[in-house]
Structure 1
Amino acid sequence: MSTVLVVEDSRSQQECISHQLRCSGLNVIQASDGVEALDRVERNYPDLVLLDIVMPRLIKANPETRNIPVIFLTGKGQQLALFSRAIDRAEACVSKPWQPRELVATIKKVLLNARIEFDRASADAWTEYGILNLSAIELYQSRTDARTKYPAQIIKFYESSLAAFEQALAMEPSHSNANKYRNRVQTIRGILIKKLEKTQHCKVCDYYCGKDGINCAVHPAFPPQQQCRDWKFN
């Protein structure tokens, strides 16, 4: 049984698509955003990815997942030109509102024609993947609540990019771009972790340590041994 990863930020559409695919004899795993999708791909290695967000480039740029077929499901017909590079890397494109028979037929056709080939990636390919991860970081960091809502995702992208540059340098130690970006990522990642430590969520009192000048307090219902470490006693 083939496994399809359905990536859709609309919960109702995600469930609708998943139900249609299961009824057609396909195994389905789900993701709600790009970061979750990349994690599902790396953990489950699905036979095909169906997505409504501009993430095919990261999947296709990763030397370890680039041979997984991708179908682009989008209702943004008027913006297809903007996504041309992403669509070019996908195996097929289905427009919303989709017709169940058309969608299932497209998925099965792509799966039938898929040829999973494992080849040795070049240092340039790993470097490109690392740079694309940095582009994804910019998307998350542009949000005002990035450090409190998306710290794990941002750190994961930094770690993925760093690992990619390390792979490139292992293959070609003198690769200038990989070396330059690796050093930059190491520096930025270190600075970010220090900043996140100042706004780390407190599991005891549900405040963010140091956020907006607020220090964590000790909840009166908890015993002394569970008091917040950030509390400063006079």
Structure 2
Amino acid sequence: MQQGRVAAADKFTSETRWGVMSTVLVVEDSRSQRECISHQLRCSGLNVIQASDGVEALDKVERNYPDLVLLDIVMPRMDGYGVCRLIKANPETRNIPIVFLTGKGQQLALFSRAIDRAEAYVSKPWQPRELLATIKKVLLNANIKFDRASADAWTEYGILNLSTIELYQSRADAWTKYSAQIIKLYDSSLAAFEQALAIEPSHSTANKYRNRVQTIRAILMKQLEKSKPCKVCDYYYGKDGINCAVHPGGRPQELCRDWEFN
């Protein structure tokens, strides 16, 4: 993580300018729309990386620190509002500008808190000129920098991760479909509380939540260890009715190396 923060610091201290191969992360679950948008942006001199849903988007943001995120709202696993809240709450990514791309313009008022955190939005069906002009404006006005976050900021980010976990766990298929993501969110929250305590060792809220997360995570890992992990898909199968995410119907007719080796 330290290397990522150093890379982010180098990236965020440089000016972001249109035409200097700024990197845009395009997050869209429709492959055809994602490829179309990506083609338009590349033809306009931008470097493009892609994500097909909210979970993949968060991973790409942490790995690549893009100059801008073009974010669809209605997506599987995690919607755009959840992605936006986590990006803007994370002290390491909060200054990355976000442009919402959505066909649900009539619902924007219902999500004003998430919209307020984004820099702009473009409605579908988008017009190429409007889309490019909006991205250009946001990039030119972006003030992307790497600054030292407070213990309170890290604590708030950790708590937001825990709130996101609650949304996942409220689903009936939480552990058969989202176990890997839930564990990752617990790890992210724990890392956030550790960061807060590194800055302010006496921070009572961070200490309380860190201890709670450590206890809960240890219990969950013991429960998950009762089922064998699938090394291919990072989900679990076998016992207690938990199925393989790749082969939910059971052992496939063709050779599946994970079934054979576990």
TM over 0.5: yes
SS in structure 1 opposite 2:225?
A: helix
Q: Distance in 2 between matches of 1:35 and 1:43?
A: 13
Long gaps (5+) in structure 1? 230-234
Q: Distance in 1 between matches of 2:230 and 2:189?
A: 28
Residue of structure 2 in register with 1:75 after alignment: 103
Q: Distance in 2 between matches of 1:165 and 1:71?
A: 29
Q: Distance in 2 between matches of 1:100 and 1:140?
A: 35
2:159 alignment partner AA: I
One of 40, 44, 65 as aligned partner of 1:24: 44
Q: Residue 48 of structure 1 contacts residue 69 of structure 1 at CA under 8 Å; is this kept in 2?
A: yes
Kindly provide the CA deviation profile for residues 11-62 of structure 1, in whole angstroms up to 9, marking residues without a partner as x. 2222221122112221111112222111101111101001021121111111
1:177 aligns with 2:205: yes
Kindly provide the CA deviation profile for residues 139-193 of structure 1, in whole angstroms up to 9, marking residues without a partner as x. 3223333223222211111111100001111111221211111111111111221
Kindly provide the CA deviation profile for residues 101-158 of structure 1, in whole angstroms up to 9, marking residues without a partner as x. 1001110111111122222111110011111111222232233332232222111111
Alignment size in residue pairs:
223
1:210 alignment partner AA: K
Residue of structure 1 in register with 2:162 after alignment: 134
1:107 aligns with 2:127: no
Residue of structure 2 in register with 1:166 after alignment: 194
Q: Distance in 2 between matches of 1:9 and 1:142?
A: 23
Q: CA RMSD in A?
A: 2.7
1:3 aligns with 2:31: no
1:192 alignment partner AA: L
Q: Residue 236 of structure 2 contacts residue 242 of structure 2 at CA under 8 Å; is this kept in 1?
A: no
SS in structure 2 opposite 1:144?
A: coil
Q: Once the 2 structures are TM-superposed, how far is the Cα of residue 202 of structure 1 from its aligned partner?
A: 4.7
Percent of residue pairs bearing the same amino acid type: 81
Q: Once the 2 structures are TM-superposed, how far is the Cα of residue 97 of structure 1 from its aligned partner?
A: 1.7
1:195 aligns with 2:223: yes
Q: Distance in 1 between matches of 2:31 and 2:254?
A: 37
SS in structure 1 opposite 2:24?
A: strand
User: Taking structure 2 as the reference length, what is the TM-score of the superposition?
Assistant: 0.77
Q: Residue 158 of structure 1 contacts residue 189 of structure 1 at CA under 8 Å; is this kept in 2?
A: yes
Q: Distance in 2 between matches of 1:50 and 1:133?
A: 22
Kindly provide the CA deviation profile for residues 70-114 of structure 1, in whole angstroms up to 9, marking residues without a partner as x. 111122222212211111111111112211110011101111111
Q: 1:97 to 1:127 in 2, by over 3 A?
A: same
Q: 1:14 to 1:213 in 2, by over 3 A?
A: closer
Which runs of structure 1 show a deviation greater than 3 angstroms over 4 or more consecutive aligned residues?
199-204, 217-222, 226-229
Q: 1:47 to 1:130 in 2, by over 3 A?
A: same
Q: 1:172 to 1:105 in 2, by over 3 A?
A: same
Compare relative contact order (CA 8 Å, sep 6+) and give the higher one, 1 or 2: 2
Residue of structure 2 in register with 1:121 after alignment: 149
One of 171, 179, 189 as aligned partner of 1:143: 171
Long gaps (5+) in structure 2? 1-20, 73-79, 244-249
Residue of structure 2 in register with 1:209 after alignment: 238
2:164 alignment partner AA: A
Q: 1:213 to 1:50 in 2, by over 3 A?
A: closer
1:96 aligns with 2:112: no
2:34 alignment partner AA: Q
SS in structure 2 opposite 1:82?
A: helix
